[in-house]
Amino acid sequence: MTIRTKKEYADLSVIDAKVSIERLNKNIINLSAFRAYKSQRRLLQCLAMEYNYQDKKSKCAVPKSKMLNVSKLLEYKGYKGIYENTEKSLKIFDEYKNHNAKKCDIIYLLKNINFKWISNITNIDNIIQKINNL
């Protein structure tokens, strides 16, 4: 049973992106990478719940090991680019774990996360402005 709602995942996705940008601006690259990864993951989890793709046996809507499978399903539903962004976020997570996160990868991911997909669930205006200023 998932412990968060679709709205909570949407809100957290936006918060994670904001924190990632703040850390990026302070040149705290590795922690920025982690929050960029979390932003994409939580957006994915929100959308998974929208289509009932969440893992009903887990507290987490989409376990890390199932992110690519779920993103592929969502891509078929019309969320163009979500699979590529999920691949990129997993790459960034590996960079984070290995303490070699790349600023250019983080910026690329943040600029490509499509927050418009969750704009009917949470306010995205502030995050869009922050991303446009990267």
Tell me, what's the pLDDT at 57? 87
pLDDT score for 29: 98
Residue 1 placed within a domain: no
Task: Annotate 80-116 with b (16+ C-beta within 10 A) or e (fewer).
Answer: eebbebbebbbbbbebbeeeebeeebbbebbeebbbe
Does residue 131 form part of some domain?
A: no
Give a yes or no: residue 132 inside a domain.
Answer: no
What is the domain extent for residue 116? 6-126
Residue stretches of the chain with pLDDT short of 50: none
pLDDT tens for 94-127 read 999 999 999 999 999 999 999 999 999 999 989 9
Which CATH number characterizes residue 61's domain? 1.20.120
On whether residue 46 sits in a domain, the answer given is yes
Q: Is residue 99 part of a domain?
A: yes
| 102 in any annotated domain | yes
Q: Which two tokens mark 1?
A: 């049973």
The number of folded domains in the chain is 1
Eight-state DSSP code of residue 113: -
- Residue 26, in any domain of the structure: yes
